[in-house]
Structure 1
């Protein structure tokens, strides 16, 4: 097993799409990643709740294509985010079994810092 740490950032383009269920929102997005994680990704986000009042949640799936710490391939990420009383929680993980190329056996997580509208990430991966 090899542990890999990489840092980078991404720019996101996000657009509302038709909701799939009453009382929910749907958004399609693309990202451009730079730094130790470099490439592009595309995904879908589903949300519910009332973000304006500080209570809401979302789930997202995205597929990344590019390189992480010099290893190339594709991988899928899953996100689970929530807000309660204005406090935020986020899980951002590699979907097991989703990798191709040099990323085939990768597992791990991303730690996102979105302070001031800048999206920086630290990637903690394990290659088996």
Structure 2
């Protein structure tokens, strides 16, 4: 049965070097550090790769993040992967649990996450299943 978790999170994004420019695109790498609250009380750590073009509103990113803590009282960790694109003002984001990455009480976790930014504050919605 699918369960739902939500809450706020804080994120710190630290570039790990200067962007590399090739043609019309800047390529960058960023360290992600997050603090989740609400139903998911955890820390997140990961790496993000970006490609930002010189056309305003056209970009893409991928990221891998490890989340460690408790999800509705169950302890463990799992990994998620992000894929995001922007084109002509349209945004698309997919965030999913990496299959077989769950540990301890979160072993076997599967699911998808969405993010919202409201008045500068970040929020997550997480639909997941556990065996």
Q: TM-score, normalised by structure 2?
A: 0.89
Alignment of 1:41-56 (within 5 A): 41-50=44-53, 53-56=56-59
Confirm or deny that 1:84 pairs with 2:83.
no
Tell me, what secondary structure is at the counterpart of 1:102? helix
Residue 17 of structure 1: aligned partner: 16
Tell me, what secondary structure is at the counterpart of 2:76? strand
Q: 1:51 to 1:114 in 2, by over 3 A?
A: farther
Task: List structure 1 segments (4+ residues) > 6 angstroms apart after TM superposition.
Answer: none
Structure of greater Rg? 2
Deviation at 1:51, TM superposition (A): 7.4
Confirm or deny that 1:31 pairs with 2:34.
yes
Unaligned ranges ≥5, structure 1: none
Deviation at 1:52, TM superposition (A): 6.7
Alignment of 1:1-128 (within 5 A): 2-18=1-17, 23-50=26-53, 53-128=56-131
How many Å separate the matches in 1 of 2:32 and 2:125?
20
How many Å separate the matches in 2 of 1:96 and 1:120?
23
- Equivalenced residue count is 127
Deviation at 1:20, TM superposition (A): 9.0
Q: TM-score, normalised by structure 1?
A: 0.91
Q: 1:115 to 1:108 in 2, by over 3 A?
A: same
Unaligned ranges ≥5, structure 2: none
CA RMSD of aligned residues (A): 1.8
